[in-house]
């Protein structure tokens, strides 16, 4: 099949590379010349395990993947996948400007296409967006009939950063929300080489499945963090409690690592957007999901309360922050707990010494001045009054790095028993 992927960001690029690898001819359309050039040279513009190798084999050698800034190239394809970003507005709602722009421009091109074409969206969009925004724009700008001349699908992605390429080829499920059966059949055929349960449903249900998935994962994390805060009062180790829970097959052992809470480009943004839309548009302010966000917000700042208990006033204190990315093995600092923690430390007058193996540049771009960026964990640790472990990179997991120091562990990076033997160790909620 010949497929156009609109938006060569994280989701678009992994999807494009995966589909090309599975034998389809794929063209990525993006407005950014730099990205387009990088892709055409077989270089990934984003940091994602395995993507560079895939791109270089697919662009230069097989020629099955290329990129362009020209929307008109959609004309020669059978299917367009919309993978543009849906950033947050300041009130938490999602911003649909890229979705609107893509739907309008695809519509303009499809106006001159005679044959059937499928438009499927993979971006995360609030339930109702395909029906209320994408379909009307496609109809208006193409003059053709969605559901008949233009097939319409919502096909969410569930990719985890750092494991996205692997997850593309072995997903837990493929969700196809279809307006017309013909479009759903085409999508099912596109993913035909991938072994996974396929669930076909209507479009709004598929949109909701995506939000409900991320809301559930976020709820699991805030749940275990709340349990951890209770356990801490009781002198009980939440990691033992989580292990005890995990034997129940209905609960499982995933997403029960207590700590300073969730960050990243998806869970916080999607949860805020769902809470906003539910309260302001659907007429149901969701108390549980709001509480999940509240617990998460408070959890990151617990690490600072503990530092204050140990050191007193933080003004003038040298605090090492190990880890800036929202999780290990990525350079992504979007909604990273580290960024919030550092901002508060700076407000309190602390002298912050930060280190991350991958995310320093991205952190510099968003943090105010006044942070000292170190060349290694050892450099940040030396001459600091207290060390905060904020991201559990493998290189921070050596207890011997912290001899005689005050260490507050936000991610259970260290074994508490071993750490207590060499330093003044305190877990954030254990």
CA distance 55 to 58: 5
Considering the rule CB under 6 A, would residue 263 count as an interface residue with ligand UDX?
yes
Q: Would residue 266 show up in a list of annotated catalytic residues for this protein?
A: yes
The two structure tokens encoding residue 284: 């149901």
How crowded is residue 190: how many other Cβ atoms within 10 Å of its Cβ? 23
Question: Of the ranges 24-32, 82-90, 139-147, 249-257, which one interacts with ligand UDX (CB under 6 A)?
Answer: 249-257
Place of tokens 């805060």: 229
Q: DSSP letter at 146?
A: B
Handedness of CA 303, 305, 310, 313 (dihedral sign): positive
Considering only 49-57, 188-196, 199-207, 265-273, which stretch makes contact with ligand UDX by CB under 6 A? 265-273
Q: Single out the residue of 98, 122, 269, 327 in contact with ligand UDX (rule: CB under 6 A).
A: 327
Closest approach, Cβ 161 to ligand UDX, in A, equals: 3
Interface segment toward ligand UDX; rule CB under 6 A; list 57-65, 136-144, 252-260, 305-313: 252-260
Pick the closer one to ligand UDX by CB: 146 or 263. Answer: 263
CB 306 within 8 A of CB 410: no
For residues 262 and 355, which CB has a smaller minimum distance to ligand UDX in the complex?
262
When the beta carbons of 105 and 411 are compared against ligand UDX, the nearer one is 411
Q: Is 256 in the site for ligand UDX (CB under 6 A)?
A: yes
Task: Please say which residue, 116 or 255, places its beta carbon nearer to ligand UDX.
Answer: 255
At 424 the three-state DSSP class reads strand
Q: According to CB under 6 A, which residues from 131 to 170 bind ligand UDX? A: 158-161
CA distance 183 to 201: 12
Cβ(330)–Cβ(162) below 8 Å: yes
Catalytic residue among 28, 83, 231, 266: 266
Euclidean distance between CA atoms 237 and 259, whole angstroms: 12
Does 266 engage in binding with ligand UDX (CB under 6 A)? yes
| 255 is a contact residue toward ligand UDX (CB under 6 A) | yes
Q: Under the criterion CB under 6 A, does residue 393 sit at the interface with ligand UDX?
A: no
Q: Which two tokens stand for residue 231?
A: 């356990």
Residue nearest to ligand UDX (CB): 266
Q: Which residues pair with 387 in a beta bridge?
A: 320, 407
State yes or no: residue 412 binds ligand UDX (CB under 6 A).
no
Return all residues near 203 (Cβ < 8 A) that are at least 6 apart: 130, 131, 152, 153, 154, 177, 178, 179
Closest Cα partner for 376 from 400, 390, 360, 392?
360
By CB under 6 A, the count of residues binding ligand UDX is 20
Residue 239 binding ligand UDX, by CB under 6 A: no
Residue 183 in the binding site for ligand UDX (CB under 6 A)? no
| 259 in contact with ligand UDX (CB under 6 A) | yes
Among the listed residues 208, 217, 228, 407, the single contact to ligand UDX using CB under 6 A: 217
* Residue 262 binds ligand UDX, judged by CB under 6 A: yes
- Distance separating alpha carbons of residues 429 and 224, to the nearest angstrom: 10
- Considering only CA atoms, which of 138, 104, 102, 137 is closest in space to residue 122? 102
- Summarize as ranges the residues that interact with ligand UDX (CB under 6 A): 158-161, 214, 217, 221, 255-257, 259, 261-267, 326-327
**Which residues belong to the active site?**
266
């Amino acid at each position: 099949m010949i497929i156009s992927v609109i938006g060569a960001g994280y989701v678009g690029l992994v999807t494009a590379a995966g589909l090309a690898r599975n034998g389809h001819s794929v063209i990525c359309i993006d407005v950014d010349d730099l990205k387009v050039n990088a892709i055409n040279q077989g270089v990934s513009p984003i940091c994602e395990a395995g993507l560079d190798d895939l791109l270089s084999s697919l662009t230069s050698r097989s020629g099955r993947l290329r990129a362009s800034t020209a929307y008109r190239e959609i004309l020669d394809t059978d299917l367009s996948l919309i993978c543009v970003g849906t950033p947050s507005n300041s009130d938490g709602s999602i911003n649909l400007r890229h979705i609107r722009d893509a739907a309008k421009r695809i519509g303009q091109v499809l106006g001159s296409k005679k044959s059937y074409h499928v438009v499927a969206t993979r971006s995360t969009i609030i339930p109702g967006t395909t029906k209320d925004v994408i379909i009307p724009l496609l109809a208006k700008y193409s003059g053709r009939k969605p559901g008949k001349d233009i097939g319409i699908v919502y096909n969410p992605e569930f990719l985890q950063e750092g494991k996205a390429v692997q997850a593309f080829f072995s997903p837990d499920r493929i969700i196809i929300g279809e307006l017309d059966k013909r479009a759903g059949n085409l999508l099912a055929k596109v993913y035909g080489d991938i072994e996974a349960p396929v669930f076909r449903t209507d479009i709004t249900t598929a949109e909701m499945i995506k939000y409900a998935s991320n809301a559930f994962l976020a709820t699991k994390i805030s749940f275990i963090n709340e349990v951890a805060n209770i356990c801490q009062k009781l002198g009980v180790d939440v990691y033992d409690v989580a292990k005890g829970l995990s034997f129940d097959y209905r609960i499982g052992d995933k997403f029960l690592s207590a700590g300073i809470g969730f960050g990243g480009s998806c869970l916080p943004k999607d949860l805020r957007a769902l809470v906003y839309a539910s309260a302001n548009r659907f007429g149901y302010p969701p108390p549980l999901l709001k509480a999940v966000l509240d617990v998460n917000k408070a959890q990151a700042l617990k690490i600072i309360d503990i530092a204050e208990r140990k050191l007193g006033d933080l003004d003038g204190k040298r605090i090492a922050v190990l880890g800036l990315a929202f999780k290990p093995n990525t350079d992504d600092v979007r909604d990273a707990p580290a960024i919030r923690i550092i901002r508060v430390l700076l407000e309190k007058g602390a002298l912050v010494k930060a280190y991350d193996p991958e995310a320093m540049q991205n952190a510099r771009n968003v943090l105010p001045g006044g942070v000292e960026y170190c060349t290694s964990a050892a450099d940040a640790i030396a001459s600091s009054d207290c060390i905060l472990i904020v991201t559990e990179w493998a290189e921070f997991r050596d207890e011997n790095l912290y001899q005689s120091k005050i260490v507050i562990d936000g991610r259970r990076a260290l074994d508490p028993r071993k750490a207590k033997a060499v330093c003044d160790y305190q877990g954030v909620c254990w």
